[in-house]
Chains A and B, each alone.
Chain A
Amino acid sequence: MADNSKDLANVEPTAEHEYPTGLAVVAPDKIADPGIEPHRVRMTDKSVKHEKAAERQVAGLFLLSILGSAFAVWAYFAFPFDGETAGSLRYNTIFLGLGITLGLFGIGIGAVHWAKTLMPDSEVSEERHITRGSEEVRAAAVEIIRLADQESGFSRRKLIRRTMYGALALFPIPAVVMFSDLGPDLKDALRHTMWAKGGLRLARDPDGTAIKAADVQIGSVFHVIPEGLVDLEPPHLLNEKAKAAVLLVRVDPSVITEKQRAWGYEGIVAYSKICTHVGCPVALYEQHTHHLLCPCHQSTFDLADDCKVIFGPASRPLPQLKIEVDAEGYLVAPGDFAEPVGPGFWERKA
């Protein structure tokens, strides 16, 4: 504390931070502390009239709180839910809430007003004690530890000590192992989607009706799921949809690359909808610029150039799904994506 300070100028050879003040300059001519400011007398301290008025104000606020709480109970019953119109629910929420608000503000403002106007407001000083214990206390504490060590033989009996450390280190391991059943090994599941079955038709999301090539005109975009997905049981339905969702668009075949034309059908191309950044659905398609934008982190893919990343945090192009047309004119996928869809993971290339 302040009285421990030393003048740095006189202790040159030792490093400063070995002194309690560290690098602090302790000014010998510091201006003197004038002491606590004198108490300013309030109107309520000197005038009975003001004191009475303040008393009435506090009581008035508490009364307002009582009214507010009563109003809240009334509002709860006065605006029943008839189930069909939203208005009643809206009024119930608003008036119940406002009633409770009044009940709370009345108490809060009343209590603070009481403290500020009617309770003493002269500042009081209380001594602090330095946080560390006094020398005697510290000596006593050291003695307790020494005694405990001696009586138990903690330092002496190395064998006991070391085996105990080992036991303590190992006992949580079963608990950690027990968490293994929280989830199975995923590595293979991440590599395949439902399209791997082969020959699945491309179907509309959400109703699952198959799409004919003739249905897809230039400039249009279809949100696609594999045919048969809607018949899956939960949770497989959502798990499969989370990987297999596809975006289908038709563009002028001359604007896309050779590989895209080969994997598509007369300008109709299908791409995974799952962002290769962190997995949001990339679904914002601009039909003239052929940009695909992810609304979560703004990765932008150029559909005219095999969905290469042209902006934003993603690195890999969206994987293309190879499509064909079957005898009835429906679009089908002969197989799975050529690479895992969605965000990258450690074992992706393994």
Chain B
Amino acid sequence: MSNAVETKNKGGFLAGSANYLDERVGVAGILKEFGRKIFPDHWSFMLGEVALYSFLVILLSGTFLTFFFDPSMAETHYHGVYAPLKGMPMSVAYESTLDISFEVRGGLLMRQVHHWSALLFVAAAGLHMLRVFFTGAFRKPREINWVVGFMLFILSMAGGFTGYSLPDDLLSGNGLRIIDGMIKGLPVIGTATSSLLFGGEFPGDEVIQRLYSLHIMIVPALILVFIAIHLFMVVIHKHTHYSGGGKKDTNVVGYPLMPVYVAKAGGFFFIVFGVIMLTSALITINPVWNYGGYDPSPVSAGTQPDWYIGFLDGALRLTPSNLEIVIGENTWMLNILLPMVVGVGLLGVVAVYPFIEGWVTGDKREHHVLDRPRNAPTRTAIGAAGVVFYAVLWAGASTDLIATNFKVSLNHVLTTMQILLIIGPVIAYYVTKRLCLSLQRKDREIVLHGHESGRIVRLPHGEYIEVHEQADQYEIWKLTDFKEYSPTLARPNAKGIITIRARIRSAMSKWFFEDRVSPVGTTELEATKKHGELH
């Protein structure tokens, strides 16, 4: 296709249409600019693609579902084929969900595709964020794109939650009721906000339609806009790459977009879609017919939100008793506010982390070669602590299932989780930091003395030694190509005053960089080699 312009007026249909497009939209220029763009190849670079492709699958399956779904909360009586619900009063929304499941061929498959891909979307986005965090890909110039990606993560949860509620079944209805209780617990605006969402009292007959408007219009539109910004910035910055021979902050090493990446990434879309379809064909998700239509009186054991809301639900469960207090005429629902602050606070730290680290290091250079997690021990340890904190909150949402499946007391599970929530991250922090430093020391060993070969040799004078095999130059480069930072003292500014800002910055740089292992330099490497030869 790249030679389409030259073959004007000759050649086949392809050349003809290429010419047509170029003369109208200048497609040749676009191809010239982007057709041979280089993308580095690494498995961990595909996680963001998984999220993107899941979103495409969500759009496709969701569009199919909109043709059959009716979000009305008007009351009706079920006349479909599912025997255990025949004649039951229910909302039109729930009935149409049942009809999609039982009377539209492929409808159940599409419902399962939609729900599985939604869960996968948030999970893949989360895993992608972890990859970006632990490799330091958020550093200058990508801080803003980190925030855009963070917004996408929040939007994906919003899309998921608004969709979870639409079938108006008992499970999601109780979920909405919890949300209503949380909203009512907000100081000052709680009651009014709840009324605005539900159109009056809970549950009312409006909320499903309102969530539907959000779910199929505003949330996906925002996700699309943010995806466009996210990808546009990837094009501007070009992709990062891992340290390796010839890979620098000033270049990008990999394969050209056309044809290799088009084939790989295009093929990968079909594979991700295939994994979703395979799961949907074989595994039930959200069997709404089991739960019955929403009724405010019953509830099922094991009432949980979808996984991505789990950390908030867990935070609610792990909150201690008796935190509701009354000051004057006003009720402060601290048992709701505290978990909200914890959940939102955790997300807030995630959102601003690149700016914190950038300020501490003061490093204003562009970074395009990724860090190996061990080479940024404090960051990796902070990340591990965050992951453990999130994981305990998340596991907190399934305390009842943990209790029944592992035959332990529900109360003990909850108390253990409360303790783990505090000490788990601390332990994770120290263990991870020590692990990173040890791995760095091992890297130094390999650079200086090579790999242990496992071969034991007896020297002429009787000494036994293990033969070490020298690392090759590419490996040495990979193990030594990282940035080392040194902690700084708080220094007086031009007026001779040590500001609080400077003190905080100094304390943080000490925290970040006090324990560190320097990369091996040529001087040291040469010295060791000489020493080895003398030996």
Tell whether any CB of A sits under 8 Å from a CB of B in the complex.
yes
B267, A295: Cβ atoms closer than 8 Å: no
Q: Report which residue of B303, B313, B323, B368 has the largest number of chain A beta carbons within 10 angstroms of its beta carbon.
A: B303
Cβ-defined contact, A342 with B271, below 8 A: no
Q: How far is the CB of A188 from chain B (nearest CB, A)?
A: 11
B321 at the interface (CB under 8 A from A): yes
Given contacts A34-B473, A345-B331, contact A279 B203 (CB under 8 A): no
B286 within 8 A of A: no
Chain A residues lying within 8 Å of B236, measured Cβ to Cβ, are 131
Within A93-117, the residues touching B (CB, 8 Å) are 93-98, 100-101, 104-105, 107-112, 114-116
Beyond A115-B264, A347-B329, is A98–B365 a contact (Cβ under 8 Å)? Answer: no
Segment 486-534 of B: residues with Cβ below 8 Å from A = 486-488, 491, 493, 502, 505, 509, 513, 518-525
For A36, list chain B residues within 8 Å (CB). Answer: 245-247, 253
Q: Which residues of A contact B108 (CB under 8 A)?
A: 89, 93
Contacts A115-B264, A128-B238, A346-B187 given: A96-B281 contact, CB under 8 Å? yes
Query: Given A104-B274, A185-B195, A344-B185, are A242 and B519 neighbors across the interface (CB < 8 Å)?
Result: no
Q: Are A115 and B366 in contact (CB under 8 A)?
A: no
| A101 touching B274 in the complex, CB below 8 Å, given contacts A96-B281, A241-B295, A242-B203 | yes
Please give me the residue from chain A that is nearest to B325 by CB atom: A315
Q: Report Cα–Cα, A123/B245, bound state, in Å.
A: 11
Taking CB atoms, residues of chain A closer than 8 Å to B201 are 186, 189-190, 239, 242-243
Residue of B nearest to A13 (CB): B491
What's the tally of chain A residues with a CB closer than 8 Å to chain B?
117
Known A235-B204, A241-B296; contact A115-B260, beta-carbon cutoff 8 A? yes
- Assess whether A37 is in contact with B195, with CB atoms less than 8 Å apart: no
Given contacts A245-B297, A281-B297, contact A346 B178 (CB under 8 A): no
Query: Which of A23-31, A44-52, A152-160 lies at the interface?
Result: A23-31
User: Is the CB–CB distance between A296 and B260 below 8 Å?
Assistant: no
**Quick one: given A34-B474, A37-B474, A128-B368, are A295 and B277 in contact (CB under 8 Å)?**
no
Task: Determine whether B180 belongs to the interface, using a CB cutoff of 8 Å to chain A.
Answer: yes
| Any A CB within 8 A of the CB of B460 | no
A316 and B324 contact, Cβ closer than 8 Å, known pairs A34-B477, A241-B297:
yes
Is the interface on chain B under 10, 10 to 19, 20 to 34, or 35 or more residues? 35 or more
Check A30 against B480 for contact (C-beta < 8 Å): yes
Inter-chain CA distance A345–B193, complex, in Å, is 11
Query: In the complex, which residue of chain A has the Cβ closest to the Cβ of B256?
Result: A124
**Cross-interface CB contact of A344 among B264, B317, B331, B493, cutoff 8 Å:** B331
Nearest CB of A to B493, in Å: 8
**How far apart sit A31 and B244, CA to CA, in the bound complex (Å)?**
13
The answer for the CA separation of A35 and B300 in the assembled complex, in Å, is 62
Q: Select the stretch in A140-148, A209-217, A305-313 that faces chain B.
A: A305-313
Q: How far is the CB of A102 from chain B (nearest CB, A)?
A: 8
Q: Are B200 and A309 in contact (CB under 8 A)?
A: no
Dominant SS at the A interface?
loop
Q: How far is the CA of A206 from the CA of B210 in the complex (A)?
A: 28
The CA of A5 and the CA of B362, in the complex, are separated in Å by 13
B174 at the interface (CB under 8 A from A): yes
- B37 and A126 form a contact (CB under 8 A): yes
Q: Contact between A234 and B75 (Cβ–Cβ < 8 Å)?
A: yes
Interface residue from A94, A111, A205 paired with B297 (Cβ < 8 Å): A205
Interface segment among B98-106, B375-383, B450-458: the answer is B98-106
Q: Could you write out 25 A-B pairs with CB less than 8 Å apart?
A: A16-B488, A19-B362, A24-B484, A30-B522, A33-B248, A35-B245, A37-B245, A81-B102, A83-B103, A104-B273, A105-B270, A108-B272, A111-B263, A112-B263, A115-B264, A126-B253, A185-B195, A206-B297, A241-B295, A242-B177, A281-B296, A296-B178, A298-B317, A344-B185, A344-B331
Interface residues of A (CB under 8 A from B): 1-2, 4-5, 15-25, 27-37, 76, 80-81, 83-84, 89, 92-98, 100-101, 104-105, 107-112, 114-116, 119-121, 123-128, 130-131, 179-180, 182-187, 189-190, 205-206, 223, 225, 234-235, 238-239, 241-243, 245, 273, 275-281, 283-284, 295-300, 309, 311-316, 342-350
The 6 closest A-B pairs by CB, nearest first: A97-B281, A17-B362, A278-B181, A22-B362, A111-B267, A108-B270
Interface residues of B, Cβ cutoff 8 Å to A: 37-38, 41, 73-75, 81, 102-103, 105-106, 108-109, 112, 141, 174, 177-178, 180-182, 184-192, 194-206, 210, 236-238, 244-256, 259-261, 263-264, 266-274, 277-278, 280-282, 294-303, 313, 316-324, 326, 329-331, 333, 335-336, 339, 359-366, 368, 399-400, 410-411, 414, 473-474, 476-477, 480-481, 483-488, 491, 493, 502, 505, 509, 513, 518-525
Extra 20 A-B pairs, beta carbons < 8 Å, given A29-B521, A36-B253: A27-B521, A36-B245, A104-B270, A107-B270, A109-B271, A111-B264, A115-B267, A120-B255, A183-B194, A186-B192, A235-B205, A241-B295, A241-B296, A281-B298, A295-B300, A298-B400, A298-B410, A348-B326, A348-B331, A349-B329
